[in-house]
Amino acid sequence: MKHVLTFFSLISFFAFTQEEVLPIYLTEEEKLQLSTYEFSTQETRGITTPPQGNIRTMAEWEEIEYLLVTWVPNFSRTLTDIVRAAVNECKVLIITNNPSSVANTLGNANVSLSNVEFVERGYNTIWIRDYAANSVYKDWNDSLILVDWIYNRPRPLDNSAPEAYAEQLGIPLYQMTEAPTDIIGTGGNFMSDGFGTGFASMLIMDENGPGNNFSVTPKSEEDVDNIFGDFMGLSRYIKMENLPYDAIDHIDMHMKLLDEETLIVSEYPEGVADGPQIEANLQYVLSNYNSVYDTPYRVIRIPAPPSTQGLHPDQNAHYRNYANQVFVNNTVIVPFYREEYDTIARRVLENAMPGYNIVGVNVDGQGGETLIAQGGAIHCITHAVGVQDPMIISHQRLRDTYETAENYVASAYLSHRSGIASATLYYKTDEAEAYESVEMTDVGDENWEAEIPAQSAGTDIYYYIQASSEDGKTRTRPMPAPEGYWKFKVLGEGDLSVTEETMDMDPIYPNPASAITAVPFSGYTDEVGTVSLIDAQGRTVQVIHEGDLSGEQIFFFNASLFSKGVYHVKTASNRRLYNQRVVIQ
């Protein structure tokens, strides 16, 4: 056993049965254990000195070999849906004390077992995101290792789970478990861009700083940053204020990186619940940090669904959100709640990540299983193990442009342990057409370039990148290409005029509308103005957004607040006037 328990802790621990559902947050009984539970005293089977080499923590959208879950029978329907979505993308590794029972459950649900493996052992809880280890590469894109920390709960079987599956998979395990590099941490409060940037809430300092309640070595913020740099290759560690209504202070309950420069963020009605603090945190990030491409982060907002009574966390409702999702290669598994909100979320995600298979799994009452009531969702009950030979394809998407004479240069960072043999950029100007190919050129330092031929104003350009390694591995980015792609538009001078015009913009959805309704918008770099909802008499019934309109954004309004009928969403900016018709039913 990994931890040395006091007599009181042992009695408390064995009082829990494997069938009892422990929430993601501390129970009252567990809170009483904190003063006596010896978090930092343990027998380790991992390596407690930092790994050597060019260390890089994997981003969640990279290729994975295994998706991990812990099988708690109380949530067998939810877990079955997750496994069903994952087995066609990767192997699924299931921690369970009864493999035959799990196999029968999956088989009865017609889920293939060909990609399912088991780690037969006990467990305390379902929340494997928090206690599993992170996939890290010692040699940038080679030498996979797992890096573990001390779980911030008195749940010893969970805390020792990484040792069990690392041993079974034959992957070296490094542990931040011995002073002075003993770190209390949780996977739900960590995300990485794959290039040395980490994100967390200030919980990481609360639990490891001076006066912490976990008996680990007190550390300054510089100490914490250095430890994560040594073990996980972080060159910067961005920390945001804890949210007032999030009981666990995990960033995956309201924010997620979709790629190197895109953040998806939960949006609440103005002034409601954690909305103000989320916005303050977001503005802190945007004002102080750029993406790995040295560009401002793109922000995509998705409304946080309320309870069936219309309540949010500041009114004692569960912490519902769509950010708590997990990448499984070409599939993204997303928590779903109710159709009127899930429809919006699906459209937002499909627009943000064309080609990915968006799979919704209900966490709010499906078959009596209310996972969200226990404090977490899909990301919280899954983790991943990366592939042994990752191929990095990193590209900053091309933006809308007025250029109609010069070709469009696409640059990409391509890296594989055997080297890159060749790379191709594929593009087309009509979704119904076949892609044309342009060979990319190695311009040094693992950077490659290709030129898309100049196009006339009004043209949409869809493209993706494919690379092949010297030892024969071939991958694309976006990963689900050719179904997945990046897109940009060639603008014309006529787009500058402030006139009523029919723009080539994504339509409002759903339309007809009855609840939360999305207004997609693609603005110019310097565009500012107002987006308003106008009734049939021409009256402004709601100002949906006022201010910055630059870039790709999605605005929202709640159609249930208005009478049935025909309305218009009017955009009035320094660049144009634009109307879209919407029916409220």
Determine, yes or no, domain membership for 518: yes
> CB of 313 within 8 A of CB of 279?
no
The amino acid at residue 446 is E
Q: What is the pLDDT of residues 171-222, one digit of tens each?
A: 999 999 999 999 999 999 999 999 999 999 999 999 999 999 898 999 999 9
| CATH number of the domain residue 511 falls in | 2.60.40.3080
Report how many domains make up the chain: 3
Q: What is the pLDDT of residues 215-264, one digit of tens each?
A: 899 999 999 999 999 999 999 999 999 999 999 999 999 999 999 999 99
Residue 37: per-residue pLDDT:
85
Q: How confident is the model at residue 117 (pLDDT cuts 50, 70, 90)?
A: very high
Determine, yes or no, domain membership for 513: yes
18 has a pLDDT exceeding 50: no
Same domain flag for 18 and 161: yes
Identify the domain boundary among 386, 420, 448.
Answer: 386
What whole-number distance in Å separates Cα of residue 280 and Cα of residue 416?
A: 39
Is 384 in a helix, a strand, or coil?
strand
Determine, yes or no, domain membership for 1: no
Q: What is the pLDDT of residues 423-475, one digit of tens each?
A: 999 999 999 999 999 999 999 999 999 999 999 999 999 999 999 999 999 99
Average pLDDT over residues 282-299: 92
Same domain flag for 329 and 415: no
What whole-number distance in Å separates Cα of residue 296 and Cα of residue 22?
A: 40
Same domain flag for 397 and 345: no
Q: How confident is the model at residue 575 (pLDDT cuts 50, 70, 90)?
A: confident
The residue ranking higher by pLDDT, 520 or 64, is: 64
Which residues, 6 or more positions from 191, have their beta carbon under 8 angstroms from its beta carbon? 60, 198, 199, 251, 252, 255, 256, 257
Residue 11: per-residue pLDDT:
34
Q: How confident is the model at residue 1 (pLDDT cuts 50, 70, 90)?
A: very low
Identify the domain boundary among 491, 511, 536.
Answer: 491
What whole-number distance in Å separates Cα of residue 314 and Cα of residue 312?
A: 6
504 has a pLDDT exceeding 70: no
Identify the domain boundary among 348, 369, 386.
Answer: 386
Same domain flag for 475 and 374: no
577 has a pLDDT exceeding 60: yes
Same domain flag for 195 and 297: yes
What whole-number distance in Å separates Cα of residue 520 and Cα of residue 528?
A: 15
Helical spans, DSSP H, in 300-409: 339-352
474-478, 493-497, 572-576: the lowest-pLDDT one? 493-497
Residue 45: per-residue pLDDT:
73
Strand partners, 516: 558
Show the domain range for 114.
Answer: 7-386
Determine, yes or no, domain membership for 2: no
| CATH number of the domain residue 251 falls in | 3.75.10.10
Distance of CA 484 to the CA centre of its chain: 18
Average pLDDT over residues 490-495: 68
| List of E strands, 58-182 | 64-70, 91-96, 116-120, 134-137, 144-148, 150-151, 173-175
Same domain flag for 35 and 66: yes
Determine, yes or no, domain membership for 171: yes
Nearest to 131 by CA among 51, 50, 186: 186
Q: How confident is the model at residue 16 (pLDDT cuts 50, 70, 90)?
A: very low
Q: What is the pLDDT of residues 402-411, one digit of tens each?
A: 899 999 999 9
Q: How confident is the model at residue 547 (pLDDT cuts 50, 70, 90)?
A: confident
Q: How confident is the model at residue 556 (pLDDT cuts 50, 70, 90)?
A: confident
Residue 501: per-residue pLDDT:
37
What is the pTM assigned to this prediction? 0.88
Same domain flag for 515 and 403: no
Q: How confident is the model at residue 19 (pLDDT cuts 50, 70, 90)?
A: low
> CB of 488 within 8 A of CB of 454?
no
Question: 286 is written with which tokens?
Answer: 């945007």
Same domain flag for 346 and 364: yes
44-53, 299-308, 487-496: the lowest-pLDDT one? 487-496
| List of E strands, 98-138 | 116-120, 134-137
Nearest to 131 by CA among 148, 144, 154: 148
| CATH number of the domain residue 447 falls in | 2.60.40.650
Same domain flag for 303 and 236: yes
Q: How confident is the model at residue 505 (pLDDT cuts 50, 70, 90)?
A: low
| List of E strands, 176-235 | 184-185, 191-192, 197-201
The amino acid at residue 97 is N
Same domain flag for 466 and 512: no
Average pLDDT over residues 85-92: 98
Residue 333: per-residue pLDDT:
98
Same domain flag for 400 and 256: no
Residue 354: per-residue pLDDT:
96
What average pLDDT does the chain have? Answer: 91
Same domain flag for 278 and 230: yes
Determine, yes or no, domain membership for 210: yes
Residue 43: per-residue pLDDT:
59
